[in-house]
Amino acid sequence: MKSALAIFGWIFFGLVMGVGLMRFMSTEADLTELAAETARPERTADGRLALYYTADDRAHISGEMLGFLQGLQTISMAVAEEDRETIRDAAGALRRGGGQGQAVQQKSPEGFRMIGRSLRQDFGTISDMAMTADMDDLQLAVSDAMGKCAACHGSYKAVEVEDPAAD
């Protein structure tokens, strides 16, 4: 009689454990799925640090970036033509920029902001030296500034996420 009860006991125990385990496993699976949907890994697949921006943030950054690209083209042509006023004005405009977006600034890591600030300082230096410096030195300064473009793009990658406030 005792052993029969023990067997029932084990069956009962087995059932509870089985259900419990199944429940645990399904929670695990759900959690893993949830994590995959919401996780924001530190790095993108190519190894760069991921920056999570909304569509608005990205539009702001894109605007600034296209300004950088255009400005650099203007400056490099002006260096070739030794057109000092154009170098001074184009670099001066890039020093100021279009005003950093608050949202973008807040979401960006310190390293990212530092490279950005340093690039603006480089443009300021180029603007200040434009009227007097040797063209070779100006060319070098432009190349230095472009190193910052490469540094930031090589280290960080923008990943678009939905703005939780927009829901």
* Contact status: 68 vs ligand HEC (CB under 6 A): yes
Closest approach, Cβ 98 to ligand HEC, in A, equals 13
The residue length of the chain stands at 167
Q: Which residues pair with 159 in a beta bridge?
A: 52
* Contact status: 152 vs ligand HEC (CB under 6 A): yes
* Contact status: 116 vs ligand HEC (CB under 6 A): yes
Closest approach, Cβ 12 to ligand HEC, in A, equals 58
* Contact status: 126 vs ligand HEC (CB under 6 A): no
Rule CB under 6 A: choose which of 78, 91, 119, 126 binds ligand HEC. Answer: 119
d(CA 32, CA 35): 5
* Contact status: 92 vs ligand HEC (CB under 6 A): no
Lookup: tokens for 157: 């990658």
Please work out the total of residues on this chain that contact ligand HEC, with binding judged by CB under 6 A: 20
Tell me whether residue 87 or residue 156 sits nearer to ligand HEC (CB atom). 156
Q: How far is CA 161 from CA 40, 57, 103, 153, 166, in A?
A: 9, 10, 14, 19, 11
* CA-based max dimension of the chain: 106
Tell me whether residue 103 or residue 152 sits nearer to ligand HEC (CB atom). 152
Tell me whether residue 43 or residue 153 sits nearer to ligand HEC (CB atom). 153
Buried/exposed code over 32-45 (b: 16+ C-beta within 10 A; e: otherwise): eeeeeeeeeeeeee
Scanning residues 24 to 63, which ones bind ligand HEC (CB under 6 A)?
Answer: 51, 53, 58, 61-62
Report whether 126 contacts 141 (CB < 8 A): yes
Angle between helices 135-155 and 110-129 in degrees, nearest 10 = 170
Contact residues for ligand HEC (CB under 6 A)? 51, 53, 58, 61-62, 65-66, 68-69, 72, 112, 115-116, 119, 148-149, 152-153, 156, 158
